[in-house]
Chains A and B, each alone.
Chain A
């Protein structure tokens, strides 16, 4: 188990009040059904965060599987020091960081959602162009708006993206995000502030008119 799960910031609550911690204690004691239950509770949430983090659904599922197996392998040494979700996302953060680092080493980094399955996915350059008012506009549809938001997320640095996703999708407090990302709450506050400001800059052109740069 990661030491970060025992950080001061997350020990304020009684971890045993968290039903998922109690389930994990059952996993520790050899109850396979409890592990399955934990998976069912977290698999969609975990894959959602990882998919937006790494950009590919298949890779996100592989990573999620790896995270669950790490949880299972760590069951004997599990200590209920923090909320279960904080511990799980600490492991997820480490697994995703390693994966992104090795991908970077293989020079496979792509700008924008590489495997979103959408032909019209926008890059952040196109977003910037649209923001400058150089392109004609037309009305957005739902799928296009989703692509714009994805491109905006992809334009953030890895750490900003992780903090933002944990904040948005998991509703995690700054303290819990700090634990999961092994940073101080102050650093998280600053990271999230920069992330939200970058996001605002990227998305602002679409606030007023709901317009999208026209495809020539």
Chain B
């Protein structure tokens, strides 16, 4: 690193330092040195500016968005790679050209080929249909007791019935599979592929678990539970499923309970808006005898108002707990809220019967709509902003450091952060 204050403005060393400065890669004292140079020498300042402008032009480069078939064909190729790993060496020599050809046929044809390849006498598939159909549920069930606990805690009692229940006898199952729709067949085929590529020990464990369930005196209940659990797991993201799988049985049960409780308290976007409107109505009526504050609140732009609302609620709870309880907790307040909600929201509210349950529910709704995270996410609380307006804000109102910081974020995070900045700025 060049340290001389009389550095040559055209030197490669200075260029390195300026580029590293723009990239935030300098130590604080080195950064200060650059800033001093820039302040002292207009040629250095101009060079820095031109480097930055060239860098900004790279924003014009297009970003790729791949077709869903890319994901699918790659996953299928990975499945074939597993097959390749498992096949005996001699068989592999024969199989490889066939597998490669199958891949080249493409995703839709692959589904067709797979359906045709279902051999009628495929006893592995027929024997294990219950495990294969509810594969995710079985995989995430360490043992029968775990399933009993899911059932005893009523964690999936309100789940809709499964799309199909495998028949008991093998002959019936064969007929049942033959009459499935092409879509269900393809889905089952995909799960079958996953099942046969599991480690042998894991396959054995799942089959034994299914036998244990079948032998249990509460067999039907446990089967219904595993089917509902399977459906629920499929709604989770890949990350959530993977993280659940990493937990031991006790911790997994705790996590599932927590996730189910959160789901029970989750607001729809419409109910979220209704809840915010209720908070606003209750809070502003409390502000009636504080006209100054009320005017300030009403004059604030939309995004800023949400922040003021959240602050107002927190302030009221902290400094005037009794007024707070009366404003949001009494029966008339609750009825007013209930009237604004959808039938599902009303049901959620009605199910919270004790004051503690109601407090937890309202707290959760508050967090979902008015917490800084929720406002930052812009999911329920922040009003939409016109794309062009947002673009203009990004280009004109942010400084280069803010823009660079945003551009370094993944797209969804960048958008959330940009919205947050937009509303914070427009609220000033």
Chain A interfacial positions (CB closer than 8 Å to B): 19, 22-23, 25-26, 29-37, 39-40, 43-44, 47-48, 51-52, 57, 60-61, 64-65, 68-69, 72-73, 142, 145-146, 149-150, 152-153, 164, 167-169, 171, 173-174, 189-190, 192-194, 196-197, 199-200, 202-204, 206-207
Contact present for B73 and A149 (CB under 8 Å): no
A150 neighbours in B (Cβ, 8 Å): 61
| Contact sample, A vs B, 5 pairs, CB 8 Å cutoff | A37-B239, A61-B66, A64-B66, A64-B70, A189-B19
Contact present for A72 and B81 (CB under 8 Å): yes
Among the listed B54, B62, B242, B408, which residue makes an inter-chain contact with A204, where contact means beta carbons less than 8 Å apart? B54
CA distance A25 to B245 in the complex (A): 11
A22 neighbours in B (Cβ, 8 Å): 242-243, 246
Contact present for B70 and A43 (CB under 8 Å): yes
A84 to chain B, nearest CB (A): 12
Contact present for B51 and A174 (CB under 8 Å): no
- Interface members, chain B 79-121 (any A CB < 8 Å): 79, 81, 85
B77 neighbours in A (Cβ, 8 Å): 65, 69
Interface pick from B153-161, B194-202, B279-287, B358-366? B194-202
- Knowing A60-B64, A68-B78 are in contact, say whether A37-B237 is a contact too (CB < 8 A): yes
CA distance A197 to B25 in the complex (A): 17
Q: Is B12 an interface residue (CB 8 A)?
A: yes
CA distance A51 to B62 in the complex (A): 10
Name the residue of chain B whose CB is nearest to the CB of A199.
B54
5 nearest interchain CB pairs? A37-B238, A171-B408, A26-B242, A193-B16, A47-B64
A35 neighbours in B (Cβ, 8 Å): 75, 78
Contact present for A168 and B16 (CB under 8 Å): no
Among the listed A40, A44, A47, A196, which residue makes an inter-chain contact with B54, where contact means beta carbons less than 8 Å apart? A196
- Knowing A149-B61, A196-B55, A197-B51 are in contact, say whether A173-B25 is a contact too (CB < 8 A): yes
Name the residue of chain B whose CB is nearest to the CB of A24.
B242
Q: Is B211 an interface residue (CB 8 A)?
A: no
- Interface members, chain B 29-64 (any A CB < 8 Å): 50-51, 53-55, 57-58, 60-64
Name the residue of chain B whose CB is nearest to the CB of A72.
B78
- Knowing A69-B77, A149-B60, A153-B61 are in contact, say whether A36-B238 is a contact too (CB < 8 A): yes
A193 neighbours in B (Cβ, 8 Å): 12, 15-16, 19-20
CA distance A48 to B51 in the complex (A): 23
Given contacts A23-B238, A33-B241, A61-B70, 5 further A-B contacts (CB under 8 A): A57-B64, A149-B58, A190-B16, A200-B53, A207-B50
Among the listed B23, B63, B71, B73, which residue makes an inter-chain contact with A167, where contact means beta carbons less than 8 Å apart? B23
B58 neighbours in A (Cβ, 8 Å): 149, 153, 164, 168, 199
B245 neighbours in A (Cβ, 8 Å): 26, 29, 31
Name the residue of chain A whose CB is nearest to the CB of B24.
A173
B16 neighbours in A (Cβ, 8 Å): 189-190, 193
Determine which residue in B71, B75, B199, B239 has the highest number of CB atoms from chain A within 10 A of its CB, and name it.
B239
B23 neighbours in A (Cβ, 8 Å): 167, 174, 192
Among the listed B54, B62, B63, B239, which residue makes an inter-chain contact with A200, where contact means beta carbons less than 8 Å apart? B54
Among the listed A30, A34, A40, which residue makes an inter-chain contact with B202, where contact means beta carbons less than 8 Å apart? A30
- Knowing A31-B245, A33-B242 are in contact, say whether A40-B50 is a contact too (CB < 8 A): no
A60 neighbours in B (Cβ, 8 Å): 64
Contact present for B238 and A33 (CB under 8 Å): yes
A190 neighbours in B (Cβ, 8 Å): 12, 16
B197 neighbours in A (Cβ, 8 Å): 32
A24 to chain B, nearest CB (A): 10
Q: Is B74 an interface residue (CB 8 A)?
A: yes
- Knowing A30-B202, A44-B64, A173-B25 are in contact, say whether A23-B74 is a contact too (CB < 8 A): no
- Interface members, chain B 195-232 (any A CB < 8 Å): 197-199, 202
CA distance A150 to B58 in the complex (A): 8
CA distance A10 to B62 in the complex (A): 29
CA distance A190 to B12 in the complex (A): 9
A8 to chain B, nearest CB (A): 17
Contact present for B74 and A68 (CB under 8 Å): yes
A153 neighbours in B (Cβ, 8 Å): 58, 61
Contact present for A196 and B74 (CB under 8 Å): no
Q: Is B407 an interface residue (CB 8 A)?
A: yes
Q: Is B65 an interface residue (CB 8 A)?
A: yes
Among the listed B66, B74, B199, B407, which residue makes an inter-chain contact with A44, where contact means beta carbons less than 8 Å apart? B66
Contact present for A65 and B70 (CB under 8 Å): yes
A174 neighbours in B (Cβ, 8 Å): 20, 23, 25
A173 neighbours in B (Cβ, 8 Å): 25
B54 neighbours in A (Cβ, 8 Å): 196, 199-200, 202-204, 207
Name the residue of chain A whose CB is nearest to the CB of B17.
A193
Contact present for B408 and A30 (CB under 8 Å): no
